[in-house]
Amino acid sequence: MIQLKDLSKSYDHPVLKSVSFSFPDQGIIALKGPSGSGKTTLLRILAGLEKPDGGSVSGLAGKKISVAFQEGRLLPFMTLLDNLLLVRDKAEEDREEAIKLLRFFRLEHAADQKPGTLSGGEKCRAALARSLYYGGDVFLWDEPTRELDADNRTLVREAMDRLKSKALFIVSTHDPDLETDGELTL
């Protein structure tokens, strides 16, 4: 179980103020709160990219973490398919699985295109496909439904639903239709 205890983080002003929360091992937990409330900061702390000023995070040891960043972060000089294949060791590469994930996210037509030619929504879905292809025990998805229309938001919910009995999704989102197992409001 991942636990936050009195977690705090300030930049030029306090962002996380003594946040305590217990995440289940599986399921979907939504991070809520207005823009600037610290959702991305918390996800970055969970990903080990940022250090809290105070408090603790426990329960992450031995867990494989997969991140889909708010801004996608696809490598611009590689095709979508190669962006996926890159995140696994050569020995564990599975082209079919990568293509299946791109197909699931309605990106098969773009497999051989570079991110620069894609729409914001397509890039966002590609980043989610890459995160799923990487795999993990904990998926940290930052605003995965931003820039997506209703149909594509359904896809994102479906992707989480398929895996939620085996993995934990910590998702910052404003999607009112996402059924979650709990919420943490910042």
Residues at the contact surface with ligand ADP, assessed by CB under 6 A:
11, 15, 33, 35-41
Beta-bridged to residue 185, according to DSSP, are: 32
Sheet holding 138-142, edge to edge: 65-68, 138-142, 168-172, 27-32, 182-185
Q: Does 40 bind Mg ion (CB under 5 A)?
A: yes
Residue 68 burial (10 A CB sphere; 0-12, 13-18, 19+): buried
Please choose, from the candidates 45, 47, 48, the residue with its C-alpha nearest in 3D space to the C-alpha of residue 5.
Answer: 45
Q: Does 173 bind Mg ion (CB under 5 A)?
A: no
38 binding partner (options ligand ADP, Mg ion, none; Cβ < 5 to 8 Å by kind): ligand ADP
Q: Which stretch binds Mg ion (CB under 5 A): 11-19, 23-31, 36-44, 59-67?
A: 36-44
CB of 141 to Mg ion, least distance (A): 11
CB of 69 to ligand ADP, least distance (A): 11
Kindly tell me which of 110 and 184 has the beta carbon lying closer to ligand ADP: 184
Kindly tell me which of 81 and 178 has the beta carbon lying closer to Mg ion: 178
The C-alpha atoms of residue 6 and residue 163 are separated, in whole angstroms, by 30
Residues 6+ apart with CB under 8 A from 12: none
CB of 95 to Mg ion, least distance (A): 33
Q: Can you give the binding site for Mg ion, defined by CB under 5 A?
A: 39-40
